[in-house]
Structure 1
Amino acid sequence: MLDQVEALIREVAATVVLPRFRHLNSDDVQVKAPGDLVTVADQEAERALTAGLTALLPGSLVVGEEAVAADPAVLRRVDEQGAVWIVDPVDGTNNFAAGKTPFAIMVALLREGEPAASWILDVVDDRMTVAEAGSGAYIDGVRVKTRTDDPGASLLRGVVARKYLTKDLRELAKKHGHRLGEVTAGHHCAGYEYPAVATDEQQFALFWRVLPWDHVPGSLILREAGGTVLHLDGSAYHPADSERGLLVTPNDDVWHTVRDTLFPGYEF
């Protein structure tokens, strides 16, 4: 199954997504919500992935970003028992539409509501990150493990996606961010940020709006690599969660250092 899904994702990338990159017409891009775009590549890729994934696993359900945009009731399938695919056909659509990288295709498989496997393809770099529950995480077939130490706040670099933070948390992050080594706005592509934490390119990523297609694939990969994925109150992340804040780091010690540095004394 892992290899079959990987092959499907690569096929969709090669035949649907890449041919559209930097070749979109004005009619190919629409505003789905303020600041949130959708392109013909998103729509066509999701249809192709949905058809391929349900053929691989007959009877399975699909929760795709564009399907939910068309019918919000589809999101409730995340809690269904059995096999449910989570699909982000083009993660980083705004980058893609602007002719910039990174952007990714992300897929995850839930079984009885829990992540069982996930795949992230960095489309332009042709880098595939895969994880299976209990079996580790791999980038292009090489096992990846997160760092196990905490070098201290001043040496930590990462992302704070402040756009969707509540006002009080946004102000605290702005006030205290200088105490960390470097805080960036990120690449606007969760499919890039999660593997970057797993490989120690960066040591944290903080999100607020955590829709399943953006975070289920990467969260399983990071946990299987040894990382920590928790809400800001320290509770575990579940695929049905949406707006509780999510901090991802290579280990528990870094998680506490980042949270307590950005939000000292705050009661979540």
Structure 2
Amino acid sequence: MTALSLLPRTTSFLPFQIGEVLREAAVTSVIPRFGRLGSDEVQEKSVGDLVTIADTQAEAIIAAGLTALRPRARVVGEEACAANPGLLKNLDRGEVWIIDPIDGTGNYAAGRAPFAMMAALLQEGEIVASAVLDPLSDRLLLAEKGGGAWLNEMRLVSCEQRPVPRALSGIISHFQRPPEMEAKAGTLADDGVTLLSTQRCAGFEYARIAIGELDFALYWRTLVWDHAPGILILEEAGGKAAHLDGTSYASSRPHRPILLARNKAIWDHIASAMAR
């Protein structure tokens, strides 16, 4: 991807507004506690799934800020859903804010990067605006449905017409990977594809694909707060995100694998290899 035209920095541009809400929560709750969490400020929601005081406080700040932008929209945050899973019902009705206050909480709790902060607006189930923030570098990716994607103030422009490069590199997540997919992942490696370890932070990995640092990623668990913000950014930057059968991502199907690629040619190549 390359960067060209400037972001319209106006108070009425929704993705920019979302990004500013994320930045406020980062400065207030997330950055000050990074590397400074006490043992009583980290809890385990389930085995290996952590939540920190920064997650809950940041989610409250983001929820308030987004509600101010769209008062009639429902708010569905990762931490609120841990307490009330019923919030995930009817995501395809009306306007819904999706919040991941800290994506990569395990990294954050351990005092290491990467981690990200993400939010998206759904309208009747369609992702229409989103933002993904790296709080440590202030790298902010924004997208508007049909309006493009930006890295900070510069628009991302697709390189989708380029052919598949000879050497691809990407991620096939181990988390919840079906046993029958192990051999297929090995086949990709045999074909010269470099398989990298996931950083356990989807927001970081979406950003890398959108800006051309990574060619593809394949995930098996596709919870809406982990994927909706990044999907819009990737698609508006000329990439492709879809289930392995080619159907579009649906928040109502959180356990169907999703393949991301920086352009359609790469998506087709990896999907074909995984279908052999």
TM-score range, shorter chain: over 0.9
Question: In 2, are the aligned partners of 1:118 and 1:132 still within 8 Å (CA)?
Answer: yes
Secondary structure, counterpart of 2:253 in structure 1? coil
Partner of 2:92: 79
Tell me the residue number matched to 2:180: 168
- Given that 1:209 and 1:244 are in contact with CA atoms closer than 8 Å, whether structure 2 keeps it comes out as yes
Once the two structures are TM-superposed, the CA of residue 226 in structure 1 deviates from its matched residue by 0.8
State the distance in 1 between where 2:164 and 2:71 align: 47
Where structure 1 has 5 or more consecutive residues not aligned to the other structure, the ranges are none
Taking a change above 3 Å as real, the CA distance of residues 234 and 97 of structure 1, as seen in their structure-2 partners, is same
2:127 aligned residue:
115
Over the aligned positions, Cα root-mean-square deviation in angstroms equals 1.4
| Partner Cα distance (1:133, 1:180) in 2 | 35
Deviation sequence 1:5-51 (CA, Å, 0-9, x none): 22211111001100110000001111111111111111111111111
Q: How does 1:1-268 map to 2 (within 5 A)?
A: 1-81=14-94, 83-148=95-160, 149-152=162-165, 154-261=166-273, 263-265=274-276
Query: Partner of 2:131: helix, strand, or coil?
Result: strand
Q: Which deviates more, 163-172 or 137-146?
A: 163-172
TM-score (norm. length: structure 1): 0.94
Rounded Cα–Cα distance in structure 2 between residues aligned with 1:59 and 1:74:
15
The alignment-based identity, stated in percent, is 43
Aligned-partner SS, 1:187: coil
Give the Cα–Cα distance (whole angstroms) in 2 for the partners of residues 158 and 2 of structure 1.
28
How many angstroms does 1:212 deviate by?
Answer: 0.3
Q: Secondary structure at the match of 2:111?
A: coil
* Structure 2 residue identity aligned to 1:183: L
Instruction: Tell me the amino acid that sits aligned with residue 96 of structure 2.
Output: V
Question: Residues 136, 168 of structure 1: CA spacing in aligned structure 2 closer, same or farther, 3 A cutoff?
Answer: same
Shift, 1:252, TM fit: 1.6
Normalized per residue, the structure richer in helix is 1
CA distance in structure 1 between the aligned counterparts of 2:198 and 2:190, rounded to whole angstroms: 16
Give the C-alpha shift of residue 208 in structure 1. 0.6
CA distance in 2 between partners of 1:26 and 1:175 (Å): 43
Q: TM-score, normalised by structure 2?
A: 0.91
Q: CA deviation at 1:3?
A: 3.0
Amino acid at match of 1:243: H
Looking at structure 2, the residues matched to 255 and 41 of structure 1 have their Cα atoms a distance apart, in angstroms, of: 36
In structure 2, how many angstroms separate the alpha carbons of the residues matched to 1:42 and 1:174?
36
Q: Which runs of 5+ in 2 are unaligned?
A: 1-13
AA paired with 2:190?
Answer: H
More moved, 244-253 vs 140-149: 140-149
State how far apart, in whole Å, the 1-side matches of 2:245 and 2:22 are: 35
The answer (yes or no) to whether the contact 1:146–1:227 under 8 Å persists in 2 is yes
Match of 2:10 in 1: none
Equivalences, count? 262
- The CA deviation string for residues 208-245 of structure 1, in whole angstroms up to 9 with x for no partner, is 10000000000000000111111011111122220110
Amino acid at match of 2:243: H
State the 1:163 CA deviation.
1.8
- The amino acid that maps onto 1:139 is L
Equivalent position SS for 1:120: strand
- 1:175 Cα deviation after fit: 4.5
Asked if structure 1 preserves the Cα contact closer than 8 Å seen for 2:101 and 2:117, the reply is: yes
State the Cα deviation string for residues 240-264 of structure 1 (Å, max 9, x = none).
Answer: 2201100000222111211223x25
Aligned partners of 2:22 and 2:133 also within 8 Å: yes
Cα distance in 1 for residues equivalent to 2:42 and 2:76: 22
Cα deviation for residue 151 of structure 1 reads: 2.9
Counterparts of 2:193 and 2:183, CA distance in 1: 18
On the 8 A contact 2:91/2:124 being kept in 1, the answer is: no
